[in-house]
């Protein structure tokens, strides 16, 4: 009955790297967007902003 000897310092580092990699993978899924997706979002925002500007009513000097 011989047990495998484990260096705790190396084990902790290996475990920490594994946790960081899992977190990085999750972030890539959550926040990663392609260039096309970013451009589409930008174009939609610009279109919405133009539509908002067109709908504004300009006030005259005498009106408040």
Compute the CA torsion angle 24, 26, 31, 32 (nearest 10 deg): 70
pTM, whole model, 2 decimals? Answer: 0.48
Calpha distance 57→60 (Å, rounded): 10
Using only C-alpha atoms, the chain has a radius of gyration, in whole angstroms, of 28
Structure confidence at residue 64 (pLDDT): 55
Structure confidence at residue 62 (pLDDT): 63
For the chain, 64 residues long, give each residue's pLDDT as a single digit of tens.
Answer: 688 988 999 999 999 999 999 999 999 988 888 899 989 999 999 999 999 999 888 888 765 5
User: What digits encode the pLDDT tens for the residues 48-60?
Assistant: 999 999 988 888 8
């Amino acid at each position: 009955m011989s047990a495998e000897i484990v260096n705790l310092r190396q084990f902790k580092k290996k475990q920490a790297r594994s946790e960081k990699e899992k977190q990085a993978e999750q972030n890539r899924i959550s926040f990663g967007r392609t260039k096309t997706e970013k451009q589409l979002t930008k174009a939609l925002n610009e279109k919405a902003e133009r539509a908002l500007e067109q709908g504004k009513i300009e006030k005259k000097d005498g009106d408040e």
